[in-house]
Amino acid sequence: MRRLVWLTLIAALAGGAYYYWQEQAHAPAGPLWRTATVDRGPLVRSINASGPVRPVVLVKVGTRISGNIAKLNADFNQAVKQGEILAELDTALIRAALAQIEAEIAAARAERALAKTQHARNVRLVGEGFISASVLDESAAALAARSAQVDQLEARKRQEMTNLDHAIIRAPIDGVVVARDVDLGQTVAASFQTPTLFQIAGDLAHMQIETRVAEADVGELKIGQRASFTVDAYPNARRSALVRQIRLNPTIEQNVVTYNVVLDTDNADGLLLPGMTAQVSIELARRDDVLRVPNAALRFRPPAAKGADTGETKPRAKGPTVYRTDGKTLEAVSVQLGATNDTHTELISGPLAAGDAIVTGERIGGKAEGGGNFRLRLH
């Protein structure tokens, strides 16, 4: 009984395998080629670049004098107005210097007054013949020296008053604090160079993108050209920009020459932040509603085909050629081409029409030689 069951099972498996083989043997051959459709649409030629998003105006706020931060009134992302106090330095040393200078000025003024009185007396005595002219000259020189000393001390006072004013750090423009590089109590030294305390962005509603373009492409750029870009934070949101500036100073790195190109963009929604990286496509030329084919169709060439109607293995068509197909035959079609970009090329003339199926490549696993059932016709 068990043997009968096994024999029945084996017979069923053999029958199933035979049926599957018959179905596969008589199944129609699948398409040998990858195809695309001739269509109409825009054709845009562009160059790609990348660069950071930056504020149009970015001011670094520093200090001309050294000292400790006594008050800190501004923080990150804070909106400020021109003239608003951002920070204050400790002014104890400046005020002490001012007090000393004022005391010196008072003493110098007293000495000047005494010298003035002495000189006036000498003028009278010279007129009466009691002293010589040389004594008068000496008193005049002493008066001039005392006056100069007063002027010098008053200049020092004005300098200290200016330092006192510089101890108050004010916003130079309306904007937003995007960076704060100091903390309360920190000592800043302005001996050799001006330290940066804050960075203020002027208007974050309008931003700029700074990109680099290769020297081979920069000749096609013009002020006012349209561009589009995305940032990593919003990869599906393509935004618009305009070329504002093509800077003349080149950047040379490892013998590669590039030029800085600045683009303006709107940021009314506030989504763009300083420092974001923009992937930019600058539009060089645009043709709307043109007949176009994928570039892959222009690169395709069929392999040598056995059994082609004409006996030919290569088309006799001259110039650029694409291959139209109806699923069974390939037809070599000579075309005249126009503008092109990275993906499509414009068809200026030729027998192709929108909706025609054209071959872009050989299907992976397809048998184009020997086992293929196709014919090659020449247009």
Enter the tokens of residue 267. Answer: 């940021």
CA 183/CA 167 separation, integer angstroms? 15
Enter the tokens of residue 194. Answer: 């001006």
Q: Is the dihedral of CA 249, 252, 258, 260 positive or negative?
A: negative
Is there a contact between 298 and 347 (Cβ–Cβ < 8 Å)? no
Direct distance between the N- and C-terminal alpha carbons of the chain, in angstroms, rounded to an integer: 70
What is the value of pTM for the model shown?
0.68
- What's the pLDDT tens digit per position in 240-298? 999 999 999 999 999 999 999 999 999 999 999 999 999 999 998 888 999 999 999 99
H-run or E-run covering 290:
strand 277-294
Enter the tokens of residue 203. Answer: 């208007």
User: Average pLDDT, stretch 218-241?
Assistant: 95
Nearest to 266 by CA among 294, 232, 302, 237: 237
What is the distance of C-alpha 58 from the center of its chain?
A: 14
* For residue 363, pLDDT beyond 60: yes
Q: Report the SS3 class of residue 365.
A: coil
DSSP codes of every residue in 149-210: HHHHHHHHHHHHHHHHHHTEEE-SSSEEEEEE---TT-EE--SSSPPEEEEEES-TTEEEEE
CATH number (1.10.3470, 1.10.287, 1.20.1440, 3.40.50) of 91-166 reads 1.10.287
CA 160/CA 145 separation, integer angstroms? 23
Is there a contact between 267 and 205 (Cβ–Cβ < 8 Å)? yes
CA 12/CA 2 separation, integer angstroms? 16
Least trusted range by pLDDT, from 14-28, 195-209, 230-244, 364-378: 364-378
* For residue 307, pLDDT beyond 60: no
**Mean pLDDT value across the chain:** 86
Pseudo-torsion of CA 361, 365, 369, 373, nearest 10°?
A: -90
- What's the pLDDT tens digit per position in 51-106? 999 999 999 999 999 999 999 999 999 999 999 999 999 999 999 999 999 999 99
When pLDDT is cut at 50, 70 and 90, the band that residue 312 belongs to is very low
H-run or E-run covering 137:
helix 133-166
Is there a contact between 291 and 38 (Cβ–Cβ < 8 Å)? yes
- What's the pLDDT tens digit per position in 370-379? 334 455 555 5
Q: How many CB atoms lie within 10 A of CB 60?
A: 14
Between 244 and 7, where is the model more confident? Answer: 244
When pLDDT is cut at 50, 70 and 90, the band that residue 234 belongs to is very high
Q: Report the SS3 class of residue 119.
A: helix
Nearest to 285 by CA among 42, 45, 40: 45
Enter the tokens of residue 9. Answer: 């099972």
Domain borders along the chain are 33-42+291-378, 91-166
Domain 33-42+291-378 has CATH 2.40.420.20: yes
Question: Which region holds residue 277: left if phi is over 0, alpha if psi is between -120 and 50, else beta?
Answer: beta
Between 96 and 9, where is the model more confident? Answer: 96
When pLDDT is cut at 50, 70 and 90, the band that residue 18 belongs to is low
CA 33/CA 365 separation, integer angstroms? 10
When pLDDT is cut at 50, 70 and 90, the band that residue 10 belongs to is low
H-run or E-run covering 117:
helix 92-128
Which residues have a Cβ under 8 Å from the Cβ of 121 and sit 6 or more positions away?
A: none
User: Average pLDDT, stretch 357-369?
Assistant: 71
CA 29/CA 306 separation, integer angstroms? 16
